[in-house]
Amino acid sequence: MIRTRTMQAVCLLALACGMLAGCKKDGGVKASVQFSATSNSAATRTAYSGEGETTSGKLTKERIDWVDGDKITIYSPEAVVEYTSSEHSAEYVIASHTTDGIRSKAVLAPTVHTATGMANGLWWNDAAPTHHFYARYPADPAKIDDTAMAATIPATQQMKKDDTGAWVPDMQYAFMFAKATATDTEAPVELDFYPEFTALQFEIGAGGNGEAKISSFTLTSTSDPLAGDFTVACATGVASTTSTTKTLSMDVTNRSDDGVLVITGGGESATITLFALPKDFTNLTLTVVGQPFGTRTLKLADKDGNMIAFTGGKKYWIKGLDLPELLEVTGENINWDVEARGESIYWD
């Protein structure tokens, strides 16, 4: 289950990995590679903290916290997995974490080998003085090697409840990639994870309706793909896609017994967050269907009417959207704010 508070900024994350274990292994393989992580299963649990760096009173760089139990996959063509020496990827778990300003720092532990009950992580290999490491978040050993990381942004997404009952984004689509080259004399081996997604958070009010019920929430581009399969080249860290899917939808059927997202009046608002491909895109239109406002189609343009260009790998907060009362008015360009909150990555 995801644990997070409100998403307000770019997904920013740097993970530093590695200390050499002091133990020795028979057969010439010197020592295990133990990893630590700076920043936040198929149940991904990274969490936006709501804290970080502010500029002029605005949160511009938000810390992403690790949650204990998060998992990543680390692949190395040179290192070997202790109890399955023919394999070169291992899964690591966030064993513990602490926060420090704009970063969350975690200690990684290898998962346990079922037959022996022992840790089954990567080990340095004497036959290769230089090792290359490639890491993927969330963990999936079938989708990371020394050529590319593979991932899929679904065209239809849902939000989930966290352990406090709040509705939060499904962070399993917050893909990240890291790589490093090191020798067994280096400690630690540091991996900086880059976000491989673009996030758009919409804050929507009921306007003068008293109560609004959203049954459909769809984002469309007339020029750029928003969802689908993509890869990140290990050599360059550049994402690419052949997808032609130019639509992203939020499935709200899990938000109430009636299968709709209910927004009450009196200044209350709802937050909807969509994850898109880690590519630049523009020419976006948001279509919202519900009651009592009917169908509303809003172009994602600034207050001067210019279409907004979104940069891949960042998190955007789109606020000030109130659903109007007039059913017969469609296609109106309503003034609103769009803020790109900070840079796409931190380094130590």
Q: Is the pLDDT of residue 10 over 50?
A: no
Q: Rounded to 10 degrees, what is the CA torsion of 295, 301, 302, 306?
A: -150
Q: Bridge-partner residues for 89, per DSSP? A: 75
- Counting residues of the chain whose pLDDT is more than 90, the rounded percentage is 37
Summarised one tens digit per residue, pLDDT across range 286-322 is 999 998 888 888 888 776 778 889 999 888 888 778 8
Work out the average pLDDT over 227-253: 97
Q: What is the pLDDT of residue 97?
A: 78
The two three-digit tokens of residue 341, written as one number: 């909150």
Q: What is the pLDDT of residue 52?
A: 57
pLDDT band at 48, cuts 50/70/90? Answer: low
Q: How far is CA 49 from CA 52, 65, 104, 324, in A?
A: 8, 6, 10, 32
Residues contacting residue 337 through CB under 8 Å, at least 6 positions apart: 318, 319, 320
Instruction: Indicate the length of the chain as a whole number.
Output: 348
User: pTM for the whole thing?
Assistant: 0.81
Q: Is the pLDDT of residue 72 over 60?
A: yes
Write down the domain spans for the chain: 19-340
Q: If you write DSSP's letter for every residue of 147-171 in order, what string do you get?
A: SEEEEEE-SEE--EE-TTS-EE--G
Summarised one tens digit per residue, pLDDT across range 126-139 is 889 899 999 998 99
